[in-house]
Amino acid sequence: MHAMQYAFTLPADYPMEVIRERVARTGHLLDDWPGLGLKAYLIREREKEGSPVNQYAPFYLWHTVEGMNSFLWGGAFQRPTDDFGRPAGRQWTGLAYEEGAAGSSARVAVLRQQRVPEGVPLSEAAADAVRETGHLAAGDGALLAAAVVDTRRWELVHFSLHAGDAPDGLEGEVFQVLHLSAPGRGLLPKGRQW
């Protein structure tokens, strides 16, 4: 499993309805994309849910690298870059993935980034990430949870989708989910990724 995210941070007075309309019009285009586990079309709005910015920040889980590369290099990614500029895309390697019991309708996503602690054996840090993924997925209203890592920066990311509001006490950036394309969600490998 591979994860990817890019973000377009927009001006404070940007009408976020433009993004909502764009996703309503084009979100379905990835509903059957080969190699895509899921794409969550995410936004944050300034001064809502604690967000300091207006942002469009889709998050992807891929079950094949070929699907991701086809998206990036085959033309589909050109549309948003033509409209908003070329963003710095981030990519992570999967550590864990778990399904929740809430079904398939996502309302919010929570993204929490943390450094892999110094002085802790990597096997312990990874085992903690796997346990946390299971804990997140087992929460009320959880659709799914994933843990991914950037080994260049030794940064761990926990990503979770929820049918309702973000659970109380769950730390991280909260995003509204405008659409969920999930053609290969069932193909994402569950559990520990090694």
* Residue-level pLDDT at 125: 96
Tell me the pTM.
0.96
* Residue-level pLDDT at 19: 97
* Residue-level pLDDT at 103: 78
* Residue-level pLDDT at 128: 97
* Residue-level pLDDT at 145: 98
Which portions of the chain are predicted below pLDDT 50? none
* Residue-level pLDDT at 50: 85
* Residue-level pLDDT at 133: 98
* Residue-level pLDDT at 28: 96
- SS3 of the chain: the string is CEEEECCEEECCCCCCHHHHHHHHHHHHHHCCCCCEEEEEEEEECCCCCCCCCEEECCEEEECCHHHHHHHHHCCCCHHHHHHHCCCCCEEEEEEEEEECCCCCCCCEEEEEEEECCCCCCHHHHHHHHHHHHHHHHHCCCEEEEEEEEECCCCEEEEEEEECCCCCCCCCCEEEEEEEEECCCHHHCCCEECC
